[in-house]
Amino acid sequence: MKKLKILLTDLSTLDHTFGAQALTFPMVEKLKNQADCTIVLAPSYFEKNVKFAKNNGLKIIAEPNPVGALAKHSFFFKFINFFRIFLMVLKGKKKILENEKKNQKIWDKALAEADVVIDNNGIEFIGNTNKKWPQLWRTAFIQLICEQVKKLYLKTTKSYGPFEGFWFKMAVKRLLKNLPVIFVREGTSKTSNLKQIEGLKLRKTIYEFPDISLGLKPASRAWAEAYVKKMGLDLTKPIIGLSPSAVIYRLPNKNLGGDNHLKFCQTLIKQFATKNQVLVIPHARADGIDPKKCDVALAKMIISGLETPKNLFLLDDESLNYAQVRAIIGLLNFYIGSRFHGIASSLSMAVPIISLSWHVKYQDIMSLYLEKYPIINSRELTPAQGIKIVNQYYNDQKWFNKIKVQTRQKAIEAKLDENIKLMIKGLN
């Protein structure tokens, strides 16, 4: 059977963004015998990712400029692009235009050869941010191009919404209703994302699948144990994991957002480090400076505000990929996480987890493994309430049945393999 050629799009970067790796690594691994995957990254991150892609056996190309790419298929965008180029030449940005031209040529060839284009992002159409329209546009333009050139376009299993505002909701419905099928992250709760998508009344076939990141194979336990020992951790003593979130930190300074998130994390560290080891695990590395964009910068700011206990450790290693980080998470005795793929790692490795967030996707993923969902809503609860909930779930862990979680993980992995088979069958 001839191998399929697949373009995986809508990722800005892979380098040190563990969520993107959690989505991409298992997808490429599960498809490797049936398909060759090319990953499309934002041009501003492309050069930075060349070495990372080579080290991990991935093929990458840079995303084309949206207006320039659509100009080939639309007189309106051709008109807009003409003036865009004119202004850029006046501003002396010929080098940028040369790079765009090169990226466009590579993209055109890759698109022409592809059997299918798959949007491989994890969450889309977030309606409650000031960036909702730019985010929608960045997703939409590749779908619009595929519609013009009659190329099959799919979206992988993901979470959607919330859809705030009439016009935004209409734009989302237009994009979703043009898909052959819709894949949604699986969840058994009454308020699952599936229920929200069904509420759009799209009249499309909707499949509810586990998230592909739950199929990511971790590095070996032996490697992880050797690594944390080098960090100075003692594997004979409990390790409590904590992942702060730049997303939560940039929320307003109320409830558990902003400075309250910082103080909340500091309180947890001081509490747990007296008798246990605390390992802080940032999940998204940006510029390393801005704590509202970079988890690493936020983690360092949290730690700098403490009289550093000897039992506190920070996982700050740019050389690690997410398969290795997942293996390290598997060594934890308890985990307080604020990133979706940290939760995915904890559950798939059968480690008790409390989530700090508010989006329905956290409840959806926990519903696959647990009867009770230990989630601290950062938009609604105070730091004092959050600490109380953490202590409640930590001190009494009967809610976490490790054997049942491991059994459900095996069932999820089997379902993911079946889903990949169905997808390949549909593409051939």
SS3 for 342? helix
* 28/118 Cα distance (integer angstroms): 12
- Given a cut of 70, is residue 391 above it in pLDDT? yes
- Best CA proximity match to 41, nearest among 52, 33, 55, 29: 52
Average pLDDT, the chain: 92
Predicted confidence at residue 352, as pLDDT, reads 97
* 40/198 Cα distance (integer angstroms): 30
Predicted confidence at residue 148, as pLDDT, reads 94
60 bridge partner residues? 39
Predicted confidence at residue 298, as pLDDT, reads 96
Q: Which CATH number fits domain 4-215: 1.10.620.20, 2.40.50.140, 3.40.50.2300, 3.40.50.11720?
A: 3.40.50.11720
Query: For 6, how many CA atoms within 13 A lie in the half-sphere containing its CB?
Result: 26
SS3 for 86? helix
336 bridge partner residues? 242, 354
Determine what percent of the chain is predicted with pLDDT higher than 70.
99
* 124/135 Cα distance (integer angstroms): 8
Query: What's the pLDDT tens digit per position in 323-332?
Result: 999 999 999 9
Query: What's the pLDDT tens digit per position in 147-158?
Result: 999 999 999 999
Whole-model pTM: value is 0.91
Which pLDDT band holds residue 38 (cuts at 50, 70, 90)?
very high
* 344/326 Cα distance (integer angstroms): 9
Domain with CATH 3.40.50.2000 in the chain: 221-403
Q: Average pLDDT, stretch 33-59?
A: 94
SS3 for 426? helix
- Given a cut of 70, is residue 281 above it in pLDDT? yes
Domain with CATH 3.40.50.11720 in the chain: 4-215
Query: What's the pLDDT tens digit per position in 344-383?
Result: 999 999 999 999 987 888 989 999 999 988 999 998 999 9
SS3 for 364? helix
- Bond preceding residue 162 cis, omega within 30 of 0: yes
- Given a cut of 80, is residue 165 above it in pLDDT? yes
Q: What is the CATH number of domain 221-403?
A: 3.40.50.2000
Distance of CA 284 to the CA centre of its chain: 9
Cα-based distances in Å from 31 to 3, 163, 411: 10, 32, 19
Which pLDDT band holds residue 208 (cuts at 50, 70, 90)?
confident
- Given a cut of 80, is residue 320 above it in pLDDT? yes
Which pLDDT band holds residue 421 (cuts at 50, 70, 90)?
confident
* 123/250 Cα distance (integer angstroms): 19
- Given a cut of 70, is residue 1 above it in pLDDT? no
Query: What's the pLDDT tens digit per position in 68-104?
Result: 999 999 999 999 999 999 999 999 999 999 999 999 9
- Given a cut of 90, is residue 130 above it in pLDDT? no
